[in-house]
Structure 1
Amino acid sequence: MPLSLANMRRQYTRDGLDEAQAPENPLTLFSLWMQQARETESPPVEANSMALATVDEQGRPHCRILLLKGFGEEGFSFFGNYDSGKGQDLATHPWAAMTFFWPGLERQVRVEGQVHKLDPTLSDAYFHSRSVASRLGAWASPQSRALDNRAALEALLAQVGQRFAGQPVPRPEHWGGYCLRPERLEFWQGRADRLHDRLDYRLHDGLWQRSRLAP
């Protein structure tokens, strides 16, 4: 019998989201929700995991899971290979969308905005906070490019290991950070019978405007 997905559903009854109690600045609410997610979610869910969507030069969307590494008034930061698929997309169309989903809290947050590369000093600082193995991997992997097999990747890693044996591993120029400066954040709280709460924040002339959206 084929697997039926149509009847897979759950009731969301944990919490609600009232605009009368929501802060004027969406980053305040995001910070609160992220902290609660860190306290509530457990492996294999990582509270800072997100789906990052980009668009290529042909207008085709691409989405993948990444880890958020920082956020604040300046934006939301993440790191990766500038020559990868997402790096090429962002070089052509420097706009992206992020989605965070915390099933334990029955919550979702969408973030949209323009993306720019982080200052090299910030990329250096984060790169050197990573393990040596991860730093070597950043040098070895030609991310998003075709490989003949797993052995080819392991051979590249071995070459890099020999190259930097006994010395510090610097950050490669093709690897670094990005910052998404948000122009829109939407907070979604699951509610019973699919009548979910949605608060939408949009930036207009430097000020955040909030509205409730129908579920």
Structure 2
Amino acid sequence: MIQFNNLNQEIPYQLLKEKYDEAFSAGQKGIEAISISSYNKEISEVDSRYVNLKFIINDEFIFFSNYDSPKASSFNSNNQIAALVYWSSINIQIRMKAKIKKTSNAFNQNYFFGRSEEKNALAISSNQSKLIDSYNQVLNNYNKSLKNDNLKKCPEYWGGYSFTPHYFEFWEGHESRINKREIFEKIDGVWKHSFLQP
């Protein structure tokens, strides 16, 4: 699930919430999954990955990750991202464009403190996306981390990322591919509303 707090009242955010509620009611699995695409200028490479979107607070979309991961390197290299959700239960795709930044240490610590110790142990033990000898080594590192006396303290290398979209496309699939494509683009502080051909 995605937690909505003090959601922005502007149309694209309210429309996203409306579609989320429809998908949730339709039993959408993995409803919090969102694809984040980024570009690492240092290695001239585009990459995408799914993350779990935890919060939408006002106009900020927030997920958490390891700050030493490949995605973090991409964000540090170039803060422009594209995000995508697809809710198959209602045949809706939502595309977004934004700039990404880290959340505050205080926000990270508060969220980490409220998580289960099992989840925290994994965050502490894992050098996310780095090579390792075997899956058994992953388990060994995790089990060692479980014995840590301070599993509620957020490590400096782990925390949140936040982005505020300046572009939304709501794609609705229809029969004969007569799909509805509705866009909202923020220009000079004002949302411009228009449609795209299928």
TM-score relative to the length of structure 2: 0.90
Aligned residue for 2:130, secondary structure, equals coil
The answer as to 2:126 corresponding to 1:144 is: no
The answer as to 2:81 corresponding to 1:96 is: yes
Which of these two proteins has the greater Rg computed from alpha carbons? Answer: 1
Partner of 2:66: 81
Partner of 1:118: 103
Aligned residue for 1:146, secondary structure, equals coil
Q: Distance in 1 between matches of 2:123 and 2:46?
A: 25
Matches within 5 A, 1:162-201: 162=147, 164-165=148-149, 167-201=150-184
Higher relative contact order (CA 8 A, sep 6+): 1
Deviations, residues 8-27 of structure 1 (Å, cap 9, x unaligned):
xxxxxxxxxxxxxxx96211
Deviation at residue 89 of structure 1 after TM alignment:
0.6
Matches within 5 A, 1:10-89: 25-42=11-28, 45-57=29-41, 58-89=43-74
Deviations, residues 117-164 of structure 1 (Å, cap 9, x unaligned):
1111211122122211110000100001100101221222233223x1
Deviation at residue 35 of structure 1 after TM alignment:
1.6
Give the 4+ runs in structure 1 shifted more than 4 A: none
Q: Distance in 2 between matches of 1:24 and 1:127?
A: 30
Instruction: Tell me, yes or no, if the aligned pair for 2:36 and 2:50 is still in contact at 8 Å.
Output: yes
Deviations, residues 43-86 of structure 1 (Å, cap 9, x unaligned):
xx221111111111233211111111111433211111111111
The answer as to 2:113 corresponding to 1:128 is: yes
Aligned residue for 1:111, secondary structure, equals strand
Deviation at residue 168 of structure 1 after TM alignment:
4.3
TM-score relative to the length of structure 1: 0.83
Deviation at residue 90 of structure 1 after TM alignment:
0.5
State the superposition RMSD in angstroms: 1.6
Aligned residue for 1:128, secondary structure, equals helix
Instruction: Tell me, yes or no, if the aligned pair for 1:68 and 1:77 is still in contact at 8 Å.
Output: yes
Q: Distance in 1 between matches of 2:37 and 2:170?
A: 17
Q: Distance in 2 between matches of 1:33 and 1:105?
A: 8
Aligned AA (1:128): F
- How has the CA–CA distance of structure 1 residues 63 and 108 changed in structure 2, closer, same or farther, with 3 Å as cutoff? same
Deviation at residue 99 of structure 1 after TM alignment:
0.7
Aligned residue for 1:212, secondary structure, equals strand
Q: Distance in 2 between matches of 1:36 and 1:169?
A: 35
Partner of 2:4: none
Give the gaps of 5 or more residues in structure 1.
1-22
The answer as to 2:53 corresponding to 1:106 is: no
Deviation at residue 37 of structure 1 after TM alignment:
1.5
Q: Distance in 2 between matches of 1:169 and 1:179?
A: 22
